[in-house]
Amino acid sequence: MASMMELVHDFFRLPIEDRSVYYSEDSSSKFRMGTSFETRRMWQDYLHQACYPPCEIAQLPTKPPSYVRISTAYAEAMNRLAKRVLGLFSESLGLESGALEEAFGGERHVMRMNYYPPCPEPELTIGLDAHSDPNGFTILQQDTSVNDGLQILHCGAWVPIKPLPGAFVVNIGDQLQILSNDAYKSVEHRAVVNSERTRVSIASFYGPAEDSHIAPVAQLVTDEAPACFKESVYGNYLQSFYASKLDGKAAIETVRY
Ligand SMILES: O=C(O)CCC(=O)C(=O)O
Ligand SMILES: [Fe+2]
């Protein structure tokens, strides 16, 4: 965890010439650097890295020199952890431990390394607008050197989620809400910035394969609990999510009956 956190800080400390070669606005690109400059509101740069299916090694940065080694080892470890967590989610719904893995019909695991530089007037901006993650669930590593970054919407109020050393946050995403037929709720969250310290967060998004058809799991649909969501192809859901502005939980409402 520590070397991955250090790696992301080191990458964003590189001179802009070294970083800008990775910049792309093509959301289908498997490795890219992005910035929210185009929306003019969010105070954040990020690296996006496809893990499973993976991007080409040749697409990954050559600086810092340890980039490929550390990021691929981290992605492997997160993939193993995500599969275990998926099994636990299945069991918690009263299903066989492999049921959600089967419903995923394969996997899409991508990493987003968020970089929030200090902001001179943090109250005038936001690091990342309110949203729920469109995937199954997200394993998030927070920077332990900054206390107020991630906030979740709980009973109408924004509650800070303080980082705990050595701990991950697991955020429920939209696909888990759909598959569980509303038993799990995807969490609405956002990130705020501060004027003193750079903050990094590393999100491992785990979800179904892009060509999977996602609908509530059959065993969870009964006469008393009819299906709450229409079937959708996950890749299409993702496309419309990324084509619209971050807007709380608006995306999942488009597939609700
Ligand atoms: O920076 C954070 O803690 C939140 C990041 C996040 O929500 C995301 O990348 O989807
Ligand atoms: Fe998120």
Could you count the other beta carbons within 10 Å of the beta carbon of residue 95? Answer: 19
Q: Does this model's pTM top 0.90? A: yes
What is the reported pLDDT for 174? 98
For residues 96 and 254, what is the distance between their CA atoms, to the nearest angstrom? 29
Distance 142 CA to ligand 1 centre (A): 9
Q: How far apart are CA 135 and CA 48, in angstroms?
A: 15
Instruction: Determine the Cα–Cα distance for residues 99 and 210; give it in Å rounded to an integer.
Output: 18
Q: ipTM value, please give it.
A: 0.99
Mean pLDDT of 21-27: 89
Residue 138 alpha carbon, nearest atom of ligand 1: 10
Distance 151 CA to ligand 2 centre (A): 10
**d(CA 150, ligand 1 centre) in Å:** 7
- Summarize pLDDT for 36-94 with one digit per residue, the tens: 755 556 899 999 999 999 999 999 999 999 999 999 999 999 999 999 999 999 999 99
DSSP letter assigned to residue 57: G
Establish how many alpha carbons lie within 13 A of residue 99's alpha carbon, considering only the half-sphere containing its beta carbon: 18
DSSP reduced 3-state for 101: helix
Q: Does 189 contact ligand 1 (Cβ within 6 A)?
A: yes
Index of the ligand 1 atom closest to the CA of residue 169: 3
Element (H, E) at 126: none
Nearest CA to ligand 1 atom 7: 190
Among protein residues, the one with the nearest Cα to ligand 1's atom 3 is: 150
Is a pLDDT exceeding 60 seen at residue 27?
yes
Report the alpha-carbon distance of residue 32 to residue 244 in Å, rounded.
19
Any atom of ligand 1 within 6 Å of the Cβ of 201: yes
Ligand in nearest proximity to the CA of 34 = 1
Q: State the helix-helix crossing angle for 67-92 and 2-13, rounded to 10 degrees.
A: 130
Q: Is the CB of 32 under 6 A from ligand 1?
A: no
Query: Which residues on adjacent β-strands are paired with residue 138?
Result: 171, 205
Distances from the Cα of 160 to the Cα of 8, 163, 196, angstroms: 23, 9, 17
The domains found in the chain, sorted by start residue, are 1-20+33-254 (2.60.120.330)
